[in-house]
Amino acid sequence: MSPQPTVVLASTSRYRAGLLRRLLDHFEQAAPGTNEAPLEGERPAARAARLAEAKARDVAAGFPGAVVIGSDQVADLEGRVLDKPGTVQGAHAQLAASSGRDVVFHTAVCVIDLRGDATTHVDETRVRFRELSADDIARYVERERPLDCAGSFKCEGLGIALFERIDNEDPTALVGLPLIATSRLLRAAGVVLP
């Protein structure tokens, strides 16, 4: 049996690391330092795929001989990208805009194998927000402080109470790393999983 290759997650996100721990006991994490500025006219799914690969390639340059995982998520409210809000006011504005509407989350994962070849998958999750009052939003933002989350919520926490419905193929994608696709890509890259 050949040794397990080193796996590196091109992210310092505790959410993505927590998900990847479901698949692997041991992996490294490294910050990619990727410029995440959008390209003019770029569609949300294409942006997520481009950034996932760019993050993986940035980190792979410093880890020769490793399998590297990059991921990115772009929230799309009817063509408007909802980035991480960064501020309480930004979170309030995003949640108010999402109230009673559908937001599509494009979550991309890219795995770079030992040969340096990249394979990318984009998962799509459609979330229907319930009607949210200003008080609902204020209580939620104060309690969870979702300032580092695209769309201004944490579905693994109280944020799930903001929704009417979630439609997707992989429930882990909404948290930030689609594990079904990730496990498939890791196996193809030579990482042994169950």
Active site residue 58: no
What's the DSSP call for residue 58?
Answer: H
DSSP letter for 194, please: -
Residue 148: in which H helix or E strand, if any? Answer: none
CB-based contact 2:47 (threshold 8 Å): no
From 25, 58, 72, 123, the catalytic residue: 72
**Rounded distance, CA 84 to CA 30, Å?**
20
Contacts of 187 (CB under 8 A, 6+ apart): 193
DSSP reduced 3-state for 70: strand
DSSP 79: T
Q: Please give the positions annotated as active site.
A: 72
